[in-house]
Amino acid sequence: MHAVISGAGIAGPVLAYWLCRYGWRVTVVERAADLRAGYGGHAVDLFGPAVDVVERMGLLDRVRENRTRNDTITLFRTGRAPIRLDTAVLATGIADRHVEIMRGTLAGLLHEASRDDVDYRFGTVIERLDGASVQLSDGSTISADLVVGADGLHSGVRGLAFGPEEDYRHFLGAYLAVYTLPDVLQAGPTVAAFNAPGLAVAVYPTQEPGGSRALVLARTSRLISRDPADQREAVRDLVGDALGPRVSAVLAHLDAAEDFYLDDISQIRMDSWSRGRVTLVGDAGYGPGPAVGGGTSLAAAGAYVLAAELNGAGTDGVEAALRRYESALSGPVQHSRRVGPSVLSAIVPRTRAQVWVAAQAMRLLPRLPRPVRSRLTSFGGGPAAMLDGLVLP
């Protein structure tokens, strides 16, 4: 049995690892010229079952060793004293088992665990799809038993097999931007947070000394173009000087940032994400919204479940395995669609009153009894709870 997987992010390598364990031949094509490993990207979360998945791959110790050290969050407010909170207090209601790690570092560890058995082809994409036969940009053709799009929010396989992204993208009314900059805030090992109606900015130190990474979340209904110069201008425009001089100093590094990335916060909503022997996994099929939805956990757990359903399936059994995979994931995926809007409401307040309430909540949380804290920080049964119903095979 031969699988071709598009995308070497999170879901792709997890799926590739397990399919190899189950005796499959696996080719992974990745559009990027090389692995975006190291400390690049942004911080992502593994909750509950997703922690179990990396543990079953023998990677949990290394994941923990490489976790981010953002152990406190400091809310800066113009003209008032900052409020500092242990992130463990905020995580009370999120999950019993939780690790935060940079996406690039996690992708690197997953690739390392699978690379000896998997035929990884970087700088390569699927150009044509005919049933489960693929034509690749490196000139080769593979007649596979299964084709999987693990190629993220803007999935190429989804486009080829299911049609345009617009048909499945559900905009949540906000944009996010991330970029690396020198540690201009000098706030120490903490997530420096700022908010105003419709805006939230977080800046945290990278593991490379002297560096920090900024995450900007802004509510807007306006459409921002795909041109990187326009995008930087749009971020400056949306934030303005609403968040004070510290954030202005952070914005001053926008133009110099080589890794600037902006995207709309949208979910991928599909009634079904398999067709014949083609399927989608992770953000490609059910992205719950970047930065607000716990997509990394859903991607890792989804890939593991898909591999387990395919274990032992011959070519004739692939379509039935894909139906079982969709049915196992349907509860968490439905739940995930409620998470993004509720997390967005919590971290990007809409009004001055909500900004004030958020600050008071941060002040009060550590003093509340654990069960009350747990309820208040669960974001309405948020990113971790969506995986509660999922029993890993």
Q: Which residues bind ligand FAD (CB under 6 A)?
A: 6-12, 29-32, 42-45, 103, 125, 150-152, 156, 176, 178, 263, 282-284, 290-291, 294-297, 299
Residue whose CB is less far from ligand FAD, 42 or 323: 42
Instruction: Name the DSSP letter for residue 256.
Output: T
DSSP of 333-347: HHHHHHHHHHHHHHH
Residue whose CB is less far from ligand FAD, 12 or 48: 12
Nearest approach, Cβ of 281 to ligand FAD (angstroms)?
7
Residue whose CB is less far from ligand FAD, 368 or 388: 388
Contact predicate 201/245, CB 8 Å: no
H or E segment at 56? helix 48-56
Residue whose CB is less far from ligand FAD, 145 or 151: 151
Nearest approach, Cβ of 38 to ligand FAD (angstroms)?
14
| Spatial CA neighbour of 299 closest among 284, 309, 311, 313 | 284
- Burial (CB count within 10 angstroms: exposed 0-12, middle 13-18, buried 19+), residue 152: buried
Let me know the angle formed at the C-alpha of 297 by 296 and 302, rounded to the nearest 5 degrees: 100
Find the residue with minimal CB distance to ligand FAD. Answer: 9
Q: Is 369 helix (H, G, I), strand (E, B) or coil?
A: coil
Nearest approach, Cβ of 39 to ligand FAD (angstroms)?
14
Residue whose CB is less far from ligand FAD, 9 or 349: 9
Nearest approach, Cβ of 361 to ligand FAD (angstroms)?
20
Nearest approach, Cβ of 131 to ligand FAD (angstroms)?
19
Token pair in block for residue 390: 């999922």
Strands 80-86 and 43-47: unpaired
Q: Is 185 helix (H, G, I), strand (E, B) or coil?
A: coil
Strands 169-182 and 211-219: antiparallel
Nearest approach, Cβ of 248 to ligand FAD (angstroms)?
21
Nearest approach, Cβ of 331 to ligand FAD (angstroms)?
18
Residue whose CB is less far from ligand FAD, 129 or 247: 129
Residue whose CB is less far from ligand FAD, 24 or 260: 260
Token pair in block for residue 214: 């900024």
Distance, in Å, from the CA atom of 21 to the CA atom of 312, rounded to the nearest integer, reads 11
